[in-house]
A and B are shown apart, each in its own frame.
Chain A
Amino acid sequence: GIQVEQSPPDLILQEGANSTLRCNFSDSVNNLQWFHQNPWGQLINLFYIPSGTKQNGRLSATTVATERYSLLYISSSQTTDSGVYFCAVPSGTYKYIFGTGTRLKVLA
């Protein structure tokens, strides 16, 4: 089945810094989701991005489906950005495969 790898596994930033998180997948996909899991465990939808680039405030995402990767950019990071970031891609017709996540800590 499809494999999903995220990097880096851990990231520590000073408030105000920018960062790039990467999601690699082993097979072609027709959509991809990015999530932020906050410290309380809630999974927040960030982007649903099969291809191209989308922006939402300080966050943006780019998926290059032909090269099998997606990038999540966080600019001017804030302490509230801390948590775990997951990407997920569909496998077959019914389920998503989740990466192991990037754990982000933003220091004040």
Chain B
Amino acid sequence: DGGITQSPKYLFRKEGQNVTLSCEQNLNHDAMYWYRQDPGQGLRLIYYSQIVNDFQKGDIAEGYSVSREKKESFPLTVTSAQKNPTAFYLCASSIRLANEQFFGPGTRLTVL
């Protein structure tokens, strides 16, 4: 069954902690993306990756970091430098950049 998985579904973090959100895809897509969604809002791009070992900042990259060591995996780390990390995080992939995107189920992060 091809698709995108994200884990965990819910995540609670204490202030000052770094946390890592997982994103895995088995669609053989080259491009992957991380978005942030705040309540009642649209999606904003955090980071994107065109290919393995390459990634670029999106519109709101401050306080976040990523890696792309494998084609299938694009983990996102929310660092303590992110001032307001409570949000819904969505991972997506596409065959190439700016092609049809497919989304994972999301991770809801809450800072306590």
Question: Is residue A66 contacting chain B, with contact meaning CB distance below 8 A?
Answer: no
Nearest-Cβ distance from residue A102 to partner chain B, whole angstroms: 11
Q: Are A98 and B98 in contact (CB under 8 A)?
A: no
Q: Indicate with 1 or 0, residue by residue over A57-87, a CB within 8 angstroms of chain B CB atoms.
A: 0000000000000000000000000000010
Cα distance, A40 to B37, chains bound together (Å): 13
On whether the beta carbons of B50 and A94 are closer than 8 Å, the reply is yes
The answer to whether A42 has its CB under 8 Å from any CB of chain B is yes
Residue tally, chain A, CB below 8 Å to B: 21
Q: Mark B65-109, 1 if CB is under 8 A from A, else 0.
A: 000000000000000000000001010100001111111011010
A90 to chain B, nearest CB (A): 4
A43–B90 CB distance below 8 A: yes
- B100's partner among A40, A48, A100 (CB-CB below 8 A) is A48
| A100 contacts B98, C-beta separation under 8 Å | no
Number of residues in B with C-beta < 8 Å to the partner?
A: 24
What chain A residues lie within 8 Å of B59 (beta carbons)?
A: 95
Question: With A41-B88, A42-B106 given, is the CB distance from A98 to B43 under 8 Å?
Answer: yes
Chain B contacts for A96, CB-based, 8 A:
45, 98, 101
In the complex, chain B residues whose CB is within 8 Å of the CB of A43: 90, 92, 103, 106
CA distance A94 to B96 in the complex (A): 9
User: Are A86's CB and B45's CB within 8 A?
Assistant: no
- Nearest CB in chain B: distance from A65 CB, A: 15
Binding site for A on B (CB under 8 A): 33, 37, 41-43, 45, 48, 50, 56, 58-59, 88, 90, 92, 97-103, 105-106, 108
Top 7 nearest A-B pairs (CB, nearest first) are A43-B103, A98-B42, A90-B98, A48-B100, A94-B97, A98-B43, A41-B106
